[in-house]
Amino acid sequence: MVDCISYRIETSTESFDLLLAVLSELGADAFQEHENALEAFLEGEDLLQKQTAIETYLIENKLVFHRIEHQRKDWNAEWESNFIPYTIETKLIVRAPFHPEDPNYKEELIIFPKMAFGTGHHETTSMILSYIVDQDFSNKKVLDFGCGTGILGILTAKHHADQVVFIDNDPLCIDNTQENLRLNFVEGAQVLLGSADLIPKMEFDLIIANITRNILLDTLPTLSQHLKQNGQIILSGFLHQDLDDMNHQIHAVGLNYKSHMQKGEWICVIAEKPMPLQRI
């Protein structure tokens, strides 16, 4: 039985980011970069639907690709064997349980590298990690929406967040997040399988959403309702050419743009929920 499909697509390094963004929107679950090729992985109950959408796009755009069918155990083994630690200066190392400890870094995250998105290597994840690693979240409530491996929310917990809620619509991501919480000795977190309708009826000091452009635009109205006044929301998973659209939606839901970072073609935006104007 085929559990997973991968596509190895011939492309230039300069085209990686754009192709990755398009394939993410079409349902690709994870990626691996090679010299002059991008490998996209698909899985899940809607595997056939994703396969049809991606192959249609590749054929219509005359891209050269090779399709490989995998058993899940083979896919995970290949992914794990290619995982190398990720670092941010001397502040943080993200490693797998099978990597040795490295005393040269102030802190570490242990992430089991299953196919869930978020090991620190992708530009969007690394930008958010570089922001979180310098913050103190004492007495703060955090929502990691579209949590993937849980790496971002876990780092806020290690930086003293009072409460962290993780949400993802992929059961594999939920399982991986729970495993990574145990590996990092994080207790008391809430991990939910579903989408924005499962967000608890509470307000958060920080919301992190590292997902795709269209889902960000669709869910931002709901996410903003769960943000405290003066709270921050971190949005990533979209390309620089989508920044104007994202800022338009940010203002449309009553948030204020604060700043953004760019790494390669990818953008990470930080916005805030303003305090209401005082009537005199």
* pLDDT (mean) for 179-195: 97
List, in order of start, the domains of the chain with CATH numbers. Answer: 4-80 (3.30.70.1170), 118-272 (3.40.50.150)
pLDDT tier at 75, thresholds 50, 70, 90 = low
Q: What is the mean pLDDT of the chain?
A: 90
For the entire predicted model, the pTM comes to 0.81
Summarize pLDDT for 90-124 with one digit per residue, the tens: 999 999 998 999 999 999 999 987 654 556 678 89
pLDDT of residue 132: 98
> Where does the pLDDT of residue 207 fall: very low under 50, low under 70, confident under 90, or very high at 90 and above?
very high
Contact between 40 and 67 under an 8 Å Cβ cutoff? The reply is: no
- The angle formed by the CA atoms of residues 225, 229 and 230, to the nearest 5 degrees, is 130
10 Å Cβ neighbour count for 263? 16
* pLDDT recorded at residue 79: 60
**pLDDT score, position 81:** 65
- Long-range contacts of range 168-173, CB-CB < 8 Å, 24 or more positions apart? 168/116, 168/193, 169/193, 169/194, 169/195, 170/29, 170/44, 170/116, 172/43, 172/114, 172/115, 172/116, 173/116, 173/117, 173/147, 173/148, 173/149
Helix-, strand-, coil-residue percentages of the chain, each rounded to 5: 35, 30, 35
pLDDT at position 279 over 70:
no
